[in-house]
Amino acid sequence: GGAKKVVISAPSKDAPMFVVGVNEKEYTPEIDIVSNASCTTNCLAPLAKVINDRFGIVEGLMTTVHAITATQKTVDGPSMKDWRGGRAASFNIIPSSTGAAKAVGKVLPTLNGKLTGMSFRVPTVDVSVVDLTVRLEKETTYDEIKAAIKEESEGSLKGILGYTEDDVVSTDFIGDN
């Protein structure tokens, strides 16, 4: 008995990490335990890949505004991790660490050590956002960056990376594929 294959839905120190649209082609059938990284890494990595492939990333800072998770407290209480982690999730903006920037370096080795980041946990139940600020190798314009992201979202990353200029809010993305 037991499971023949395991997918860890969080970053792992030991298991190879794969993000669809970034490095899933490196998976081979003899790998029995894999990590699919984190939801934030799955958001950040495809975006970072497009920008790095087209313009080259020298360094970057990512900030995620992250919906409540099951690990957070419903009311103020003790936290083994940190003081802020023990505060009530439903009515606080809680600064937190994130391993997503480091995890991107594992799935995109050319970016290893180039990104750093932080997280704000906010009182929404679904949908998070990543803001990525980068210093680029190539001189470019905002419009060229938008065009590259739009092109990839309609091409090789369709269904993985989305692009819109519509006036939307977070709940508009619930169920988005």
Domains, the chain, with CATH or none: 38-171 (3.30.360.10)
**pLDDT confidence of residue 81:** 82
Is 39 catalytic? The answer is yes
**pLDDT per residue over 78-97, tens digit each?**
988 888 989 999 999 999 99
**pLDDT confidence of residue 80:** 85
Strand pairing class (94-96; 6-8): unpaired
**pLDDT confidence of residue 21:** 97
| Mean pLDDT value of segment 165-177 | 89
pTM, entire model? 0.91
**pLDDT confidence of residue 177:** 59
Please state, rounded to an integer, the average pLDDT across all residues of the chain: 95
Query: Of 86, 106, 102, which is closest to residue 94 (Cα–Cα)?
Result: 86
The active-site residue, picked from 39, 61, 88, 148, is 39
CA distance 37 to 40: 8
